[in-house]
Amino acid sequence: MTASIPGSVLIVGAGLAGFQLAATLRRSGYDGEIEILGAEPHRPYDRPPLSKEFLTGTMSAHDLGLDDPGAPLQARWSLGAPAAALDPATLTVRTSTGATHRAEAVVLATGCTPRIPAGMGPAGADSVGGGAAGLPEGAFVLGCLDDAVALRQARVAGARVAVLGGGFIALEAAATAVARQAAEVTLVAPESLPLAGRIGAEAAHALRELHLRHGVRFAPPARVHGLSADAGGRLRAVRLQHADGARAELRADIAICGLGAAPTTGWLAGTGLAFDGAGRILCDAAGRTSLPGVWAAGDCANWEPSGPVPVPRPAGGHWQDAVDHATVIGAALLGSGPPALPPPYFWSEQHGVRLQAAGHLIGHPRLSAGGIETADLLLVYELDGQETGILGMDRPREVTRWRRGRARRPAVVAA
Amino acid sequence: MRRVCALNDLEPGEGLRIDDTSPPIAVFLTEEGTVHAIDDTCTHQDASLAAGWVEDCRVECPLHASAFSLLTGEADQPPARRPVRVHRAEVHDGEVWVEVSTAAPNLPPGVTLP
């Protein structure tokens, strides 16, 4: 099946996936109109440093920019208004201001919105950039630049910090709070071994030990039941509910919510798009949705698994997924056979240790080098005698060789 | 020009970090047999490009996968957006010689010259 190249492309979402798609199209010589809609007022910026280098002050907001100021992306920008409705028949998107935008192809790249503790903030999780609204003073989320600016301005040094959640952003935020000289940092997660479900018990154990060595405390497994504020509206404590039903309070001056995120797809209800249980838009292996002319990329999309290990990717996608989605959709829009989606790849940095993982972290991990105590381990994951994935702590050379030895870098489409 | 290493010190497809320059440089021998020298530090974050993956005359940063051209120093995708410096490299009698660029290096945030 061949489709003609669209004369115009409307990208809904000005994050990494949206930016990278536009950049891929331009680099491939596409000279049609590209319009990018963004919910935030900011030009595309890089989010991973928001829980790390941006908070410690190593990186500035200017450093986060994805575009090259010397050779800016040629696109039309409509920023500061979230998308509100899609008309699939005419491929028209209406934003919160009522303005309409139309193109011959629409790519949905609206990302996700951080979850906040139950009973807090505005109803529904689909308000982008307003995640902290309704939270007591001293409570923060980490979804967008404005969230991170608020947390950066907070007086973390000497404070009692509670980090809520057991995912990568929570663990990074805990490590960053230590670096910012918090008096105490306590991680509250429902799991006794955070991230074990994602990276396996061995790697999760190594991470936990790393955090313990740096003074991070792990509260007994508990769910966040709510936040308590004093009469002045300032955070006083985090209300917890443990697995046995017992309730407790954790006194805190600052709470950082790392409770995961929900795909920003609520505005697409009723369009005929198909969604998975997490609310992500279901796509084929090249990013096509169930609607003609509509594609989806990044955290808001769930692509049909493909490749040598066709297992679904967990919700709450990674940086590299957004880049890879954009590369594949770019090729498909330009009519060339889209390359296969490369195997997953992600990284994190905690307490100065760089964690990288490639492939699928399933099956049985085998310790290939290093150790847990030294935070320099290299784990190779095997299933039925086949290597499916690798995880390294401060092992950039080994992880890169494993990854690139299996999947060549997708070539840029010819102009 | 200055001698930085012997050709025998290099392995095809691998990089070698040269530490006695400031900032450090990375020397590569490609599978095709050509020798290249660029700044070793990724322009996005403090990572050693000598540990990266060499393919099609580009080196992919081992951390965040921006790939830099060994010929022009340009990065092909985020998160890096600024090029690394390219240094002229030549091989004479089995020795690798490099003329370090006089341009200002594009060091990542948080990294400064000693």
Nearest CA in chain B to A346: B64
Residues of A in contact with B78 (CB under 8 A): 16, 19-20, 23, 46, 66, 323
pLDDT > 70 fraction of chain B, expressed in percent and rounded: 100
Q: Check whether residue A256 and residue A268 sit in a common domain.
A: no
- Contact B63/A356, CB-based, under 8 Å? yes
Q: Check whether residue A229 and residue A161 sit in a common domain.
A: yes
Q: Check whether residue A142 and residue A256 sit in a common domain.
A: yes
List, as one string, the DSSP characters of A16-66: HHHHHHHHHHHHTT--SEEEEEESSSSPPB--GGGGTHHHHTSS-HHHHB-
For residue B104, being part of any structural domain is answered with no
Q: Check whether residue A125 and residue A243 sit in a common domain.
A: yes
Does the pLDDT of residue A124 top 50, yes or no?
Answer: no
For residue A172, being part of any structural domain is answered with yes
For residue B30, being part of any structural domain is answered with yes
Q: Does A241 touch chain B (CB under 8 A)?
A: no
For residue A164, being part of any structural domain is answered with yes
Confidence of residue A392 (pLDDT cuts 50, 70, 90): very high
Q: Check whether residue A167 and residue A75 sit in a common domain.
A: no
Q: Of A306, A333, A360, at which residue does a domain stop?
A: A333
Q: Does B15 touch chain A (CB under 8 A)?
A: no
Among candidates A261, A343, A330, A339, which has minimal Cα distance to A297? Answer: A330
User: What pairing do the DSSP bridges indicate for beta strands A8-12 and A105-108?
Assistant: parallel
Q: Does A73 touch chain B (CB under 8 A)?
A: no
Phi, psi of B98, rounded to the nearest 5 degrees? -130, 135
Q: Check whether residue A132 and residue A226 sit in a common domain.
A: yes
Q: Of A223, A240, A260, at which residue does a domain stop?
A: A260
Q: Check whether residue A104 and residue A163 sit in a common domain.
A: no
CA torsion B16-B17-B18-B24 (nearest 10°) is 150
Q: Check whether residue A25 and residue A75 sit in a common domain.
A: yes
The number of distinct structural domains making up chain B is 1
Smallest Cβ distance to A347: which of B48, B64, B81?
A: B64
- Report pLDDT for A65: 94
CB A351 within 8 A of CB A322: no
Tell me the CATH number at A306. 3.50.50.60
Among candidates A190, A183, A188, which has minimal Cα distance to A171? Answer: A188
CB-neighbour burial class of residue A193 (10 A; exposed 0-12, middle 13-18, buried 19+): middle
Q: How many CB atoms lie within 10 A of CB B64?
A: 22
- Owner of token pair 């840029």: A412
d(CA A69, CA B82): 10
- Contact B76/A67, CB-based, under 8 Å? no
Residues of A in contact with B60 (CB under 8 A): 400, 404, 409
- Report pLDDT for A314: 74
Mark which residues 384-403 of A lie under 8 Å from B by CB: 396-397, 399-401, 403
Range list of β-strands (E), A76-204: 76-79, 83-87, 92-95, 100-102, 105-108, 112-114, 139-141, 160-164, 184-188
For residue B111, being part of any structural domain is answered with no
Q: Check whether residue A125 and residue A255 sit in a common domain.
A: yes
- Contact B78/A46, CB-based, under 8 Å? yes
- Report pLDDT for B78: 85
Query: What's the mean per-residue pLDDT of chain A?
Result: 91
Mark which residues 27-86 of B lie under 8 Å from A by CB: 45, 47-48, 51-53, 55-56, 60, 62-65, 67, 76-79, 81-82
Q: Check whether residue A275 and residue A297 sit in a common domain.
A: yes
Shortest alpha-carbon distance between residue A355 and chain B (Å)? 9
User: Mutating which of B60, B63, B66 best tests the A interface, going by the most A Cβ atoms within 10 A?
Assistant: B63
For residue A277, being part of any structural domain is answered with yes
Shortest alpha-carbon distance between residue A59 and chain B (Å)? 6
- Contact B55/A404, CB-based, under 8 Å? yes
- Owner of token pair 């081992």: B62
Q: Does A378 touch chain B (CB under 8 A)?
A: no
Shortest alpha-carbon distance between residue B111 and chain A (Å)? 9
Nearest CA in chain A to B47: A396
Residues of A in contact with B64 (CB under 8 A): 319, 347
CA distances A140 to A51, A119, A121, A254, A255, Å, are: 11, 15, 12, 8, 6
Amino acid (1-letter code) at residue B39: D
d(CA B101, CA B107): 14
The complex's ipTM works out to 0.90
User: Mutating which of B59, B77, B107 best tests the A interface, going by the most A Cβ atoms within 10 A?
Assistant: B77
Q: Of A238, A260, A282, at which residue does a domain stop?
A: A260
The number of distinct structural domains making up chain A is 3
Full residue range of the structural domain in which residue B32 is found: 2-99
Shortest alpha-carbon distance between residue B80 and chain A (Å)? 8
Confidence of residue B28 (pLDDT cuts 50, 70, 90): very high
Q: Check whether residue A235 and residue A159 sit in a common domain.
A: yes
Q: pLDDT, tens digit, for every residue of A297-328?
A: 999 999 998 877 777 777 767 899 999 999 99
Tell me the CATH number at B76. 2.102.10.10
Q: Check whether residue A160 and residue A219 sit in a common domain.
A: yes
- Report pLDDT for B77: 84
- Report pLDDT for A133: 65
For residue B35, being part of any structural domain is answered with yes
- Contact A354/B63, CB-based, under 8 Å? yes
Full residue range of the structural domain in which residue A173 is found: 118-260
Does the pLDDT of residue A252 top 70, yes or no?
Answer: yes
Q: pLDDT, tens digit, for every residue of A88-119?
A: 999 999 999 999 999 999 999 999 999 988 76
